[in-house]
């Protein structure tokens, strides 16, 4: 079961601070560090560096890039991030570039990268060249209420734990995600999203994506 394996990963991440399963360098330094908190900080530093070497080219140094189809990671929750890296590694999300990267990750990498992502503060979207259409935003807001998006993602659309922050996420990416859940192309870590979208007409998905991407919080 995907869920069971994932939960083991998550459970063991709670025991991470020993530094036992990190890269060789970090493990060696962690061994001479007195407290588990120091060891955890070292692990985070190591993955901060790896993130800037490997991931920043697409996702941006601060976790927000302009690259089409590439999600914002800034402000994303580590528990959500680890479930997605796990699904990507299993090939259960079908972006070739990101799947290839995830396939090279060990369990310690899944924990290390998602832990680091959880430390990236949210970065607001740059002001759009033209203000979002008011009428379309209103329709989107009503749909988000009607279909209980806010019930799980929160009224600030900032999520928490295994529920992703979606407010200010890239519109093209959100649109693709919603259509992916709707068609079953993106099964998700749980059935939460396919069930949430089961009553939403396909024709309303783009309006929801527009609303979510242009949402600037309360
Ligand atoms: C070649 C560009 C590229 C690189 C390099 C890259 N990513 Fe990604 N990443 C993507 C794309 C594109 C997606 C969206 C995949 C999809 O649409 O299913 C993604 C998705 C993700 C997601 C899921 C986000 C979400 O909101 O569901 C995470 C987490 C992630 N990447 C982490 C990383 C980490 C960590 C690294 C470095 C080890 C990395 N990525 C390197 C392009 C990249
Ligand atoms: C029952 C709780 C629940 C409800 C209701 C819900 N979501 Fe979600 N949503 C989740 C969870 C959990 C995930 C992560 C799913 C996965 O593993 O892919 C998610 C993922 C997403 C993503 C993907 C984000 C990313 O970074 O890839 C988007 C976009 C999204 N939801 C939008 C919505 C919208 C719009 C609605 C309302 C129509 C909605 N959600 C309703 C729980 C919910």
- Ligand 1: distance of its center to the CA of 142 in Å? 30
Domain ranges of the chain: 2-117, 134-214
pLDDT tens digits, 88-116: 999 999 999 999 999 999 999 999 999 99
Give yes or no for a contact between 63 and 120, defined as CB atoms under 8 angstroms apart.
Answer: yes
According to CATH, the topology of domain 2-117 is Cytochrome Bc1 Complex; Chain D, domain 2 (1.10.760)
Question: Does the structure show a pLDDT above 80 at 56?
Answer: yes
d(CA 95, CA 22): 26
Question: Does 82 contact ligand 2 (Cβ within 6 A)?
Answer: no
- Residues of the chain with pLDDT > 70, as a percent, come to 84
Indicate which ligand has the atom closest to the C-alpha of 199: 2
Give yes or no for a contact between 10 and 82, defined as CB atoms under 8 angstroms apart.
Answer: yes
Question: Does the structure show a pLDDT above 90 at 218?
Answer: no
Residue nearest to atom 7 of ligand 1 (CA): 98
Question: Quick one: DSSP state of residue 16?
Answer: G
Tell me the pTM.
Answer: 0.90
- The residues facing 160 across adjacent strands are 163
- Residues of the chain with pLDDT > 90, as a percent, come to 78
- Ligand 2: distance of its center to the CA of 12 in Å? 25
What is the reported pLDDT for 34?
75
> Which residue among 23, 51, 52, 59 is best mutated to probe the pocket of ligand 1, counting the most ligand atoms within 8 A of its Cβ?
59
**CATH topology identical between 2-117 and 134-214:** yes
According to CATH, the topology of domain 134-214 is Cytochrome Bc1 Complex; Chain D, domain 2 (1.10.760)
């Amino acid at each position: 079961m995907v869920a069971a394996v994932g939960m083991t990963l998550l459970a063991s991440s709670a025991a991470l601070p020993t530094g036992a399963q990190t890269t060789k360098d970090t493990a060696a330094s962690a061994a001479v560090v007195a407290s588990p908190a120091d060891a955890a900080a070292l692990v985070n530093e190591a993955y901060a560096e790896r993130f800037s070497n490997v991931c920043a080219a697409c996702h941006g140094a601060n976790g927000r890039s302009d690259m089409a189809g590439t999600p914002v990671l800034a402000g994303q929750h580590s528990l959500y991030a680890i479930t997605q890296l796990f699904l990507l590694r299993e090939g259960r999300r079908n972006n070739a570039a990101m799947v290839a990267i995830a396939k090279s990750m060990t369990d310690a990498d899944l924990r290390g990268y998602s832990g680091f992502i959880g430390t990236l503060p949210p970065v607001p979207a740059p002001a759009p060249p033209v203000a979002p259409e008011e009428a379309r935003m209103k329709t989107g807001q009503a749909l988000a209420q009607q279909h209980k998006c806010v019930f799980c993602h929160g009224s600030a659309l900032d999520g928490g734990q295994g529920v992703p922050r979606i407010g200010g996420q890239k519109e093209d990416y959100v649109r693709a995600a919603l259509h992916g859940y709707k068609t079953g192309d993106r099964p998700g870590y749980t059935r939460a999203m396919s069930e949430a979208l089961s009553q939403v007409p396909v024709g309303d998905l783009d309006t929801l994506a527009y609303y979510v991407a242009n949402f600037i919080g309360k």
